[in-house]
Amino acid sequence: MLFLNPKKYSMEYSDENTRRIMLDTIDFFERKGLKALKEDDHSCRWYEDFLQFIEDERIFARLLTPTGYGDADVRFDLSRICEFSELTAFYSLAFQYCFQVSILGLGPIWMGSNEKVKQLTGQLLSKGGIFAFGMSERDHGADLYANEMRIHRQPGGDYLATGDKYYIGNANEAALVSVFAKYADSGDFVFFVADPTHDNYQLVKKIRTSGVRPAYVGEFTLKDYPVAEDQIVSSGQLAWDSSLSTINIGKFQLGFASVGICQHAFYEAIDHAHRRMLYGKKVTDFSHVRKLFTESYARIIAMKLYALRAVDYFRSSSEEDRRYLLFNPIQKMKVTTQGMKVIDMLLDVIAAKGFEQDTYFELAIRDIGMIPRLEGTTHVNMALVIKFMANYFFNNVDYPEIPMRRDARDDSNLFRQTTGKLAKIKFPGYRKAYEGVNLPNAGVFLEMVDLFKEMLATAPPTEEQMKDVDYMLHLGELFTMIVYAQLVLENARLYQVNHDLVNQIFAFMVSDYAQYTLAHLSNFVNTPAQEKLLQRMMKRPIPDPAQRDRVWEDQVLVLQGQYSMNE
């Protein structure tokens, strides 16, 4: 159930509509085949066939239209949106990119106050429209405050927009582009929608990227582009809040994209290794190869457990429970960097085969590293994560248990997020997740977490250390591992994951945590008290070769021969 196999797709849904969306999408890609997919990639061919499929089957319309702005079968359901991200990235990140960028472009519209534009957007989605998010600029990237796009008030009451946007997905054929700008007179933020077919919308170029080649990553310029009052979707605080809240939803998809890529690459890698003979033995008979496969499989399952659990918190969020604001940036940062680790491990197994142009793996190598690095995602999100450390460990409060959220419900509550007031976000004690867990490596990891908390309480960062951004970001790596482990453990219980596998997941977590601890000792000046506690955190996983062999035999090797994409 957790490891995706499109040819044995058996997810259970509360509605047949969702199941058909996924099965139709699988059918589209399997009919297209790997050879055609790679030819499109090599030639950077725009995916007109995919967009025709999206239009014919009303895929984006059904997935991305909130209830009330389309037909009866539409809803903005984050659970199935994230699954579609995983499924499309399983085949190619370029297709997921088109979907994710459309989510970003739609965010400010659905969060805004302009009902006319919302109704128009629903109609455009029903006709197969895709959307774009005009946020970043060449010189500023993710620095929203430095935004140079301006709209100038005209005597008649409307506006003219002037400025340039860079690294914008779907910039060539979006039905509408949500453009982030400032009023020239007041400097207040504003979102308005632009039509790429207008003469004053100038598509400058396609930005050539090593990955997502069939997608269109572009630069566009608005020069005296007329903006009527009824094209403005939000202003002032609402526009600012919409920019951040949209990113919370859209960039959240990055974790599921990474999971999708890793699963497809895993199938291809284990099939190749099991067929290949070296020194009279199958490659999968070598102990180090088995270890690499077993650990990479454990990492993929952990990635997916975290990502799915983060969805539960996001869908269940409210003004009283905003814990997702910690879990989401970790989704965007940690799950995606784990994906890079997995692909590196698998590449160590299949070596030169991974670089052959007709493989899926060659796509994975190029695409996986793009994901956590989009707009400086890792650093931006780590800076956010460390703001939650004090409240995560101290001043704890109880919350009702968050259930698994696979229900068919419209998640329009996500369009009413609020920003700021992070100091008011509280958490229950982290030890709650470990109650009733009797796994050796989970126990070792919990000891490390307790020591980290003790360090924050008795030997917190000094004033000088707190001014050192590099120091604090690295401290955030240790904190991030702790939160990551919590959600993985929570979801392992909900999905009833085999205990052998959970213990193996915590084996690599203990090892990773010890490596971060050693780096913190080696690269920074710590106080004597901090150093003693960091040294005590230098623990190692409890080895269990028999258990690891069981995971290999019962859960990993059985994936060999289970999936290969149609040629």
Domain boundaries along the sequence of the chain: 6-129, 132-235, 251-397+428-558
The CA distances from residue 349 to 229, 345, 352, in Å, are 58, 7, 9
What is the C-alpha separation between 189 and 117, in angstroms, rounded?
A: 18
CATH T-level assignment (fold) for domain 6-129: Butyryl-Coa Dehydrogenase, subunit A; domain 1 (1.10.540)
- In angstroms, the CA 387 to CA 382 distance is 9
| Per-residue pLDDT reduced to its tens digit, 71-89 | 999 999 999 999 999 999 9
pLDDT at 383: 75
* CATH architecture under which domain 251-397+428-558 falls: Up-down Bundle (1.20)
Residue 1 CA: distances (Å) to CA of 71, 79, 207, 290, 465: 31, 15, 38, 22, 45
Task: Take residue 544 and report the two structure tokens written for it.
Answer: 């269990």
Q: How far apart are CA 526 and CA 180, in angstroms?
A: 43
State the residue for tokens 């596998």. 501
Mean per-residue pLDDT pooled into runs of 10, the chain (567 residues)? 90 82 97 97 96 98 97 96 97 97 98 98 98 93 86 94 96 97 96 98 95 95 97 97 94 95 98 91 93 98 98 95 94 94 97 93 95 68 84 94 94 90 93 96 98 97 92 92 98 97 98 97 96 97 96 97 96
Distance CA 133, CA 204 (A): 16
Rounded distance between C-alpha atoms, residue 214 and residue 47, angstroms? 6
Please determine whether the domains at 6-129 and 132-235 fall in the same fold group of CATH: no
* Cβ proximity of 392 and 326 under 8 Å: yes
Q: Which two tokens stand for residue 553?
A: 């035999």
Q: Output the six-digit token pair for 537.
A: 């955190």
- Between the alpha carbon of residue 251 and those of residues 76, 319, 324, the distances in Å are 16, 21, 13
- Rounded CA-CA distance 234/241 in Å is 10
What is the Cα–Cα distance from 265 to 505, expressed in whole angstroms?
20
3-state secondary structure of 101: helix
Q: What is the CATH number of domain 132-235?
A: 2.40.110.10
For residue 267, what pLDDT is reported?
98
Whole-number pLDDT of residue 375? 52
Strand-strand pairing, 176-183 and 189-194: antiparallel
Task: Supply the pLDDT for residue 377.
Answer: 58
What is the full DSSP assignment across 125-160?
A: HHTT--EEEE---TTTTT-GGG---EEEE-TTS-EE
